[in-house]
Chain A
């Protein structure tokens, strides 16, 4: 198993280098002089020289790339042009929200999706099956942002005043706010990676609340995440339900399932121990593939529910031509995506020992 993980990590190396190259090139590809593009009307020849000096744009391209990689390795993602903040800080501020949303959506999609798929497969051609297939077809065709707006309309306006009311926007209710963990624990002098990680944890409302024992904050943050994660998770739910159904149907026709039944095992044991476990590999794969979908969905949904995450900031950055921010987020998101796929690979090597030997 360890050998397998090591081999997969090695295979990641070229992809990682590729990601770095692509994100590096993205900024070089911007048409025109970067100085004029970035400084806009304020650009004068003297200012441009200073600018190029400062960002090292006078060096050769390979030197610039090496420096970019070197800086990245030290956790330095550059500086936002618009507000002069280090991009690592912007990432630490925005990323936790998006990750919380993605994880919530993934939990929703996999739990409900697998349940629906199992029900549909066990009661083939029943009403439950028909309903699941309907959801599976319509779910993948729905624009995430549309579903989000409709959910906001139903749960925040139509159901206003009932116990089913759910907040349609922002991350926390008015009056609640996050207390930075650095202040709470009295560690203000952290730097580099330590500070980044601390900020990352601190800015996750759920983790922050849990670590400080502030359950009100945790519950409020969760409540604000229900509608967005419902919207983000629906597409993946549809895909997972469909995959579970077909995968389970295939397994249920196998001889060993019949043997298990013939031995007199209860239906529950046959399904959970024999059938579902074998049907799980394609399901796990599809859940992993859906991570990218979920991240993209999170980006779209943040703007609707006015959540301060990566997506809303990235669109802002594009519209205001703040390229280093776009670059920084692209690197971080791609790395997250690649590592999720790694975890998926490892988890199905665990589920199916045959894969380890390939």
Chain B
């Protein structure tokens, strides 16, 4: 075997090693469900950023000229031109439903991102400490989190809201707290899997401080499952927030929150079904997109996690 040949192989593997992130992204973009998920998320983000420009009406102020709970009127589909256009109809407080749905995307994305960031920071820290320090601290932290997991998640969130009182901010806090154990477990598992490996010991023997070892050598191993779990967690968080708002424990009137919109109009499902259909459909599409992206990430980043 010639030296030249070996050198090419080395160069090629070096090239590959240089950008594993780019490689992963390339695989992700080829993944069917990830494509669909990313597309929906992209549309949602555009809607959320340009809500002011896209929404034809104010999401909160009632329209004086509109009929309450009016059916959708789309000019292209044969609605008389002398009537105001309301693509998704008018809600029980004479507000344009389409505009409210658009503004709702802003809120939903914020809800998903903030709760999961909070849960990852707190849960990740707890999991890292538990896994890295070990001993009685590990037992105390993990057993306490087991207790949190002994409650069905939505019911625990409801109970926590009952302590803080209803309201969107408290509902988000409750949802974040409920999700903490998930991330603590993910990070702890990642930490445990490498804690005793040679390269960690090597780093330590070269004089790296415990914190440095933790952050630069150990924690990066927990990153992949954390990204996957976090994406799926956004879906769960959006769904739970909508549920709490639906029950009247989350967002309050007149916030354009999809779950609240559904809750406000649930009694008019028989005479104005469109007021129930559209907000629910928006929730479903958003949750679906994050689920699809999460599945795609799991398949491309770490095939071992499949079926979890």
Q: Are A314 and B158 in contact (CB under 8 A)?
A: yes
B277 at the interface (CB under 8 A from A): yes
Residues of the B chain whose Cβ atoms lie less than 8 Å from the Cβ of A338:
150
Our pick among A18, A141, A143, A315 for the contact of B291 (Cβ within 8 Å) is A141
Residues of the A chain whose Cβ atoms lie less than 8 Å from the Cβ of B270:
153, 156-157
Is chain A's binding surface mostly helix, strand, loop or mixed? helix
B303 at the interface (CB under 8 A from A): no
Given contacts A146-B283, A150-B277, contact A15 B262 (CB under 8 A): no
B301 at the interface (CB under 8 A from A): no
Residues of the A chain whose Cβ atoms lie less than 8 Å from the Cβ of B262:
143, 145-146, 149
A295 to B153, CA, bound (A): 10
Our pick among B166, B263, B276 for the contact of A150 (Cβ within 8 Å) is B276
Residues of the A chain whose Cβ atoms lie less than 8 Å from the Cβ of B259:
143
Q: Are A141 and B288 in contact (CB under 8 A)?
A: yes
Our pick among B151, B235, B263 for the contact of A337 (Cβ within 8 Å) is B151
A333 at the interface (CB under 8 A from B): yes
B248 at the interface (CB under 8 A from A): yes
- Interface positions of B from 248 to 293, Cβ below 8 Å from A: 248-249, 259, 262-263, 266, 269-270, 273, 276-277, 279-281, 283-285, 287-288, 291-292
- Interface positions of A from 292 to 351, Cβ below 8 Å from B: 292-293, 295-296, 299-300, 303-304, 314-315, 317-319, 323, 326, 330, 333-334, 337-338
B121 at the interface (CB under 8 A from A): no
B146-165 vs A, CB cutoff 8 Å, 1 = contact: the mask equals: 11101111111011111100
Q: Are B276 and A149 in contact (CB under 8 A)?
A: yes
Our pick among A140, A143, A292, A300 for the contact of B283 (Cβ within 8 Å) is A143
Q: Are B163 and A319 in contact (CB under 8 A)?
A: no
Q: Are B306 and A246 in contact (CB under 8 A)?
A: yes
A202 to B114, CA, bound (A): 46
Q: Are B33 and A137 in contact (CB under 8 A)?
A: yes
Our pick among B146, B159, B160, B266 for the contact of A149 (Cβ within 8 Å) is B266
A21 to B307, CA, bound (A): 34
Given contacts A19-B147, A326-B162, A330-B159, contact A145 B284 (CB under 8 A): no
Q: Are A143 and B158 in contact (CB under 8 A)?
A: no
Is chain B's binding surface mostly helix, strand, loop or mixed? helix
Minimal Cβ-Cβ distance residue in B for A144: B243
Q: Are A292 and B153 in contact (CB under 8 A)?
A: yes
Residues of the B chain whose Cβ atoms lie less than 8 Å from the Cβ of A26:
159-160, 162-163
Minimal Cβ-Cβ distance residue in A for B266: A149
- Interface positions of B from 128 to 186, Cβ below 8 Å from A: 143-144, 146-148, 150-156, 158-163, 166
Our pick among A21, A319, A333 for the contact of B152 (Cβ within 8 Å) is A333
Which size bracket describes the interface of B in this complex? Answer: 35 or more
Q: Are A319 and B166 in contact (CB under 8 A)?
A: yes
Our pick among A22, A29, A150, A282 for the contact of B147 (Cβ within 8 Å) is A22
A229 at the interface (CB under 8 A from B): no
Q: Are A334 and B269 in contact (CB under 8 A)?
A: no
A247 to B159, CA, bound (A): 36
A147 to B158, CA, bound (A): 21
A142 to B163, CA, bound (A): 28
Given contacts A14-B143, A144-B243, A150-B277, contact A137 B291 (CB under 8 A): yes
A138 at the interface (CB under 8 A from B): yes
Minimal Cβ-Cβ distance residue in B for A337: B152
A28 to B235, CA, bound (A): 32
A248 to B269, CA, bound (A): 40
Our pick among B150, B155, B161 for the contact of A299 (Cβ within 8 Å) is B155
Minimal Cβ-Cβ distance residue in A for B236: A140
Q: Are B249 and A300 in contact (CB under 8 A)?
A: no
Our pick among B239, B266, B307 for the contact of A243 (Cβ within 8 Å) is B307
- Interface positions of A from 142 to 176, Cβ below 8 Å from B: 142-147, 149-150, 152-153, 156-157
Interface centre among B143, B147, B262 (most CB of A within 10 A): B147
A211 at the interface (CB under 8 A from B): no
A1 at the interface (CB under 8 A from B): no
A319 to B249, CA, bound (A): 8
Residues of the A chain whose Cβ atoms lie less than 8 Å from the Cβ of B144:
18
B247 at the interface (CB under 8 A from A): yes
Q: How far is the CB of B200 from chain A (nearest CB, A)?
A: 28
Q: Are A152 and B269 in contact (CB under 8 A)?
A: yes
Interface centre among B33, B155, B279 (most CB of A within 10 A): B155
A17-36 vs B, CB cutoff 8 Å, 1 = contact: the mask equals: 01101100010011000000
Our pick among A22, A137, A303, A337 for the contact of B247 (Cβ within 8 Å) is A303
What are the 8 closest A-B residue pairs judged by CB atoms, nearest first?
A146-B280, A18-B147, A292-B152, A296-B154, A141-B288, A141-B287, A318-B162, A295-B152
B: residues with CB less than 8 A from A are 33, 143-144, 146-148, 150-156, 158-163, 166, 235, 239, 242-243, 246-249, 259, 262-263, 266, 269-270, 273, 276-277, 279-281, 283-285, 287-288, 291-292, 306-307
